[in-house]
Amino acid sequence: ETERTMEFARMLVGPLEGAFLHMMTRLVQARRVLEIGMFTGYSALCFAEALPEQGRVTTCEIDDESAAVARRFFAQSPHGRKIEIRMGPALETMAGLTAPFDLIFIDADKQNYVNYYRRAMELLSPRGVILIDNVLWDGEVLLEPPPDERTAAIQELNRAVRTDQRVSAVLATIRDGIWIITPTPFA
């Protein structure tokens, strides 16, 4: 339905990335997942399906049309009840959340990626993982000067992650690049 009806269907997390998100949720034995940027809910369902019965996905979304599509999908899934949609600007939503989250997935407006990352670090459990999508940005992150504000913002995020002594990070080349970030013990 997303591919047929949504203007920006290419933003959808695909099956390969969905399987990766599902696996990461299980690997970290997550109970609480925070998703920044839900779109039509495919990734939220991937997380929810991997969670135990009492697990919860809190997802932040700003677009009413996307949220309406997601709610329809959630209603059709036995795991949809594990998902809570928080409407509004994600930074405002994140400011009102309490730690800890076991897995945090960032896939929203690129201009705020660094701000989302900083707040995610405050909300992350000591054994948690942060996943950040689209960090290769079709290879444009290698261009100097950056061609636009979104590319510049992703470059800034990539520098912030690479130089953050509090974390260990690996850039996985799944689709458009995903940071896999964990807190460094004793940092």
pLDDT, tens digit only, all 187 positions of the chain: 544 444 544 556 788 999 999 999 999 999 999 999 998 899 999 999 999 999 999 999 999 999 999 999 999 999 999 999 999 999 999 999 999 999 999 999 999 999 999 999 999 999 999 999 999 998 888 888 988 999 999 999 999 999 999 999 999 999 899 999 999 976 5
**Count of other CB atoms within 10 angstroms of residue 184:** 12
Report the pLDDT value the prediction gives residue 9, as an integer from 0 to 100. Answer: 47
Nearest-angstrom CA–CA distance, 126 and 129:
9
Report the pLDDT value the prediction gives residue 34, as an integer from 0 to 100. Answer: 99
CATH topology for the 2-183 domain: Rossmann fold (3.40.50)
Report the pLDDT value the prediction gives residue 6, as an integer from 0 to 100. Answer: 45
**Domain parsing of the chain, residue ranges:** 2-183
